[in-house]
Amino acid sequence: MALKIEQGNDVTIIHIQNDSVDAVSAREIAGASDQMKGNTILDFGSVMFINSAGISALLKLVIEARKQGKKLYAVNVTAHHRKVFEMVDMLRYMPIAKMEDLLPLIKA
Amino acid sequence: MILESGQRSYNSAKAKLWRWANQSEQRLYLGGVGLALFVMALALVLGLLSGPTDRQGVVIAQFVAGSLVFAFSVYGDMQTAKGQMTPQTWQRGAIICAGLVIVTGLFTGEFFNIMLAPLLVGIAHRRENQRLLIGLGLGAVVLIALEVIVFAILGQNSNHVSSAATSLTAVAAITLSLATFMRRYQSEVEEYQDEAATKASEMEVAHEIQTSLMPPPMFTSGNWTLAARSLPARDVGGDFYEYVQHPHLDNTISGIAIGDVAGKGIPAALQMAVVRTLFRIEARRRIFPGETLMSVNVALQAERSFGMVTMLYAFIDINSNTLHLANAGHNYPLLLNGTLLEEVKMPGLPLGIDDGIDYEEKVIKITPGTSVIFYTDGVVEAMDNEDNLFSFERLKEAVQANQNLGPVDMVDKILAEIANFTKSAPQSDDITVLVLQYHPQPAEADETPKQGEPVGVAADFGDSRKGSLGLETGDDGVNWI
């Protein structure tokens, strides 16, 4: 999976550039966890498919990050995946936001 | 070692030397052997007829050399069949040496070159060492160069007939090598096909076992009727549904559960069996679904390398006609009464993700004629050939279009709608649909809800949103969608 990572003062933006997230690609995202700052934005703009193994790995990642005091946000999530995230309670740990709402966070 | 992969196959081919897997293998191998013998005989005849008398000894020597190559090939094949040799040792050695003979034969055509083939192949046979073989080959090239120089100094030229015979000998060796290789290749294919057939047979048995472990596809319990069907993407799957028997009343269901283990195939099926067992144990111990899911989740945390499991458990209170629901990340159930369709939104962490999770409960009063549709994600994520999802919207449309049907027909119709949508696209995930309907006797029936009224009366039951982390959504000032 191609991850494009942008770093700010206290924010990391991870652009997921694959069209699908499965267990393997979710582990690659987890591999970038050491680069996650206090605020991390996961950009799902290119993602068309997320299978259950990908959801499982993502959940474990975001819960672990929140336990470490980090805040994660998801942007550019499709309506279908927004509903899936809601059902598995991922939104409690990684809310979905609009990128423009996060601009103050990025510019800080 | 030159080759280790495939050793298992060759070991299992012991005592199969003269037992042919099929006629094509037999024709391939015997044809190659026959061709090799023919070419060698041709080389002998040509050499004896064309060469001068003083060269006939050379030609005979070449024939002996070719025979040695042939003998090595057959010997190697026999040893391979007995599991005492990797065939690639022979094949590569023979091909490399034969190529070497061809090249050197073009320049010299003397004894020494002809004897290289059986010599090197024999060494390669015994040592099964590719590096050694390459080293010997390079050493032979050096020797040939020295030979050319020596013969040049002595004023001798190579004999053309001898070169032709040498090349033919090499062709014979190559032919036989290829025949051996093709035989083994064909044999490997046959073995893999046999293994695949055996696995397919085993998977078929596994499918039957898993299907037999599922509850019956239709069940009537008092005023409640339910139907379910599960279609695994492969022979076995990770989707499941379960009926919980009432602890004191015979043939009475007190609850239903539907679940989905992440992944597909055998791993998911094995994990599913574990989850179902844990659920059955916990559901017998407890009444409330939230507590039951919590206990299953705790038990799963003890399991190593266990993936995510979504599960929804609905406890049926047959006295009050209510459903007590708890959800661990499973797709929201749909409530249908007449044309009214409602989704019971109950977010929850799937099982196996984190410990110490409390699961919210909702109590829903079920009015007469109500259907409750449970399904797994394979339904809404079924894809057509253009990768379009069946989607939540199409599922709702399919449910509403078949609102007047009984549970069995409704399940069949929903599955038919999915099949009609996906057409020839392969099924990418397990698909399970379960429909529960409440049809009381006329004396018990209440009024059906009117337009605008909720289908069921839902109420929170217990702690709703806080998990072990006590985190709340939207606590950082961002406007969430």
Q: pLDDT by residue (tens digit) across B18-30?
A: 566 666 666 666 7
Residue A30 parent element (H or E): helix A23-31
pLDDT at A100: 87
Q: Which residues contact B402 (CB under 8 A, 6 or more apart)?
A: B409, B410, B413, B414
Is A56 in Cβ contact with B308 (below 8 Å)?
yes
pLDDT at B30: 72
B210-221 residues labelled b (16+ CB within 10 A) or e (exposed): beeebbebebeb
Residue A35 touches chain B, beta carbons under 8 Å: no
Exposed/middle/buried for residue B135 (C-beta within 10 Å: 0-12, 13-18, 19+): exposed
pLDDT at A36: 85
Low-confidence ranges of chain B (pLDDT < 70): 1-29, 31-32, 35-36, 39-40, 43, 46-186, 304-306, 442-481
Distance CA B376, CA B279 (A): 17
Other CB atoms closer than 10 Å to residue B351's CB: what's the count? 30
Is B387 in Cβ contact with A52 (below 8 Å)?
no
Q: Which residues contact B283 (CB under 8 A, 6 or more apart)?
A: B242, B244, B255, B257, B292, B313
Q: Which of A67, A88, A92 sits opposite B473 (nearest CB)?
A: A92
Average pLDDT, chain A: 87
Q: Which of A63, A80, A102 sits opposite B353 (nearest CB)?
A: A63
Q: pLDDT by residue (tens digit) across B192-219?
A: 888 999 988 888 888 888 888 889 999 9
Give chain B's length. 481
* pTM value surpassing 0.90: no
Sign of the C-alpha dihedral computed for residues B324, B329, B330 and B333 taken in this order: positive
Beta bridge partners, B328, equal: B311
At B220, give phi and psi (nearest 5°): -120, 130
Q: Find which of A49, A55, A73, A88 to mutate to test the B interface (most B CBs within 10 Å of its CB).
A: A88
Q: pLDDT by residue (tens digit) across B223-268?
A: 899 999 999 888 888 899 999 888 777 778 889 999 999 877 888 8
pLDDT at B479: 30
Give chain A's length. 108
Distance CA B241, CA B65 (A): 72
Is B471 in Cβ contact with A92 (below 8 Å)?
yes
Q: In angstroms, what separates the C-alpha of A4 from chain B's closest C-alpha?
A: 24
